[in-house]
Amino acid sequence: METRRPTSPAAEEILGGYFPVLDHGWAALVDYMGSDEDVERAARVSYGHGTRKTSQTRGLVRYLRRHHHTTPSEMVELKFHCVMPIFVARQWIRHRTASVNELSARYSLMPLLFYRPGAEQFALQSQSNMQGREGGVSAAVYEEAVRRWEALRADAGDAYAWMLEEDVARELARIDLPLSTYTQWYWKIDLHNLLHFLTLRVDPRAQWEIREYGRVLAAMVKRVAPLSYEAWVDYDLSARSFTRAERDALTRLVRVDGGLLRAVDGATLSKQELGDLGLSAREIAELVEKLTSPEWPDFELDLACMRSAEDVGKEMEEAVPGTNFE
Ligand SMILES: Cc1cc2nc3c(=O)[nH]c(=O)nc-3n(C[C@H](O)[C@H](O)[C@H](O)COP(=O)(O)OP(=O)(O)OC[C@H]3O[C@@H](n4cnc5c(N)ncnc54)[C@H](O)[C@@H]3O)c2cc1C
């Protein structure tokens, strides 16, 4: 049966397809409602589909995002099925503006799948960012970490499987499964709040593991609502706001002259002068970072990696200990 609902061909192509994230994780767009045209229609409270040119829709979508008129983008919704380690889920669940239904480990048997960081992700504690990592670790330390992870996980998995064999309640058997254990959920969120989530979670300050999910979800948004995605990259993700002191500093370097911007000849500002304008050492570093030409982000899905729900479900089932306990 043909649908009268607006659809997006690029989103239809990947609907229900599972994309790998980390070593055992997945993200799938299982449903969506609306696209860029629905953002425009809501903003105009107008009738019918398809009466506007793409260039007109683009102009309005970009204006709305630039000026933080966000409710029209709440009219578009996306629903995902995601499989992620519990420590990633704990960061993710802090975003309160979504509807979530997580796998119940009180009811279901947990697949014994554990996240193991690759050697290239294994790093030292960052000295500049207390929530970050930087610098390589020796191969010997990585190998020992892997050995210890595997021993701990084998013990935790054995204890879990043994308790299930003894018919201990699942809600108790699961309590010592580590944070690296993969959980999964259905997650539904509107486009406005999803873009807010992505702004925070594809940012380099977010933990690399959740950023990997952010990258895949962002690429899915690009297929559902490409104009909103483009406006988000331009006006949110790549944008930086300037504080009063930063604006004071910038107006000493560039001035507005007859409606045009004119560089003030040979002007420079020393750290001392920036400090005199009220910027702390950290703010000066942040200003430099804001003005350093970044790489403009873009997110794409690798369709060659897309797998079916049946394949992924089978993989999960095979990782459940002794399915004969059922
Ligand atoms: C890099 C990074 C590091 C972090 N570190 C920590 C940490 O160390 N410890 C920690 O506890 N958390 C940490 N967080 C989580 C962070 O503080 C937020 O809880 C999380 O990012 C969700 O953001 P949010 O509240 O804007 O999103 P959502 O919950 O999706 O909310 C979206 C917006 O809705 C509004 N809103 C939603 N609910 C309410 C409410 N009840 N009252 C008022 N307004 C509301 C707010 O405007 C909010 O911005 C970190 C997040 C990031 C990205």
Residue 296's identity, in one-letter code, is W
Q: What is the pLDDT of residues 231-277, one digit of tens each?
A: 999 999 999 999 999 999 999 999 888 888 889 988 999 999 999 99
97: CA distance to ligand 1 center in Å? 10
Of 174, 201, 215, 223, the active-site residue reads 201
The Cα–Cα gap between 303 and 318 comes to 25
Q: Is the pLDDT of residue 311 over 50?
A: yes
Mean pLDDT score, 149-163 = 97
What does the block give as tokens for 208? 């690399």
> Hey, what are 166's tokens?
């003894």
pLDDT over 70 at 323, yes or no: no
Q: Percent of the chain at pLDDT above 70?
A: 97
Instruction: Tell me the pLDDT tens digit for each residue of 35-44.
Output: 999 999 999 8
Q: Is 196 in the pocket of ligand 1 (CB under 6 A)?
A: yes
Mean pLDDT over residues 153-181, rounded? Answer: 97
Least confident piece of the model among 112-116, 159-163, 240-244: 240-244
Spatial CA neighbour of 152 closest among 181, 118, 117: 181
Band of the pLDDT at 116, cuts 50, 70, 90? very high
d(CA 225, CA 138): 44
Choice among 120-134, 172-186, 271-285, 304-318 with the minimum mean pLDDT: 120-134
Domain boundaries in the chain?
9-115+178-238+295-325, 244-291
Whole-prediction pTM: 0.92
**Which of 221, 217, 242, 241 has its CA nearest to residue 230?**
221
Is 205's C-beta closer than 6 angstroms to any atom of ligand 1? Answer: yes
- Is 211's C-beta closer than 6 angstroms to any atom of ligand 1? no
Q: At the topology level of CATH, where does 9-115+178-238+295-325 sit?
A: Gyrase A; domain 2 (3.30.1360)
CA of 33 to the centre of ligand 1 (A): 25
Give the separation between CA 100 and CA 79, rounded to whole angstroms: 10
pLDDT band, very low/low/confident/very high, at 51 (cuts 50, 70, 90): low
Positions of E strands within the chain:
18-21, 25-33, 77-85, 98-102, 123-125, 133-136, 182-190, 254-257, 260-263
Which residue has a Cα nearest atom 52 of ligand 1?
206
Asked whether the predicted pLDDT for residue 103 surpasses 80, the reply is yes
58 is catalytic: no
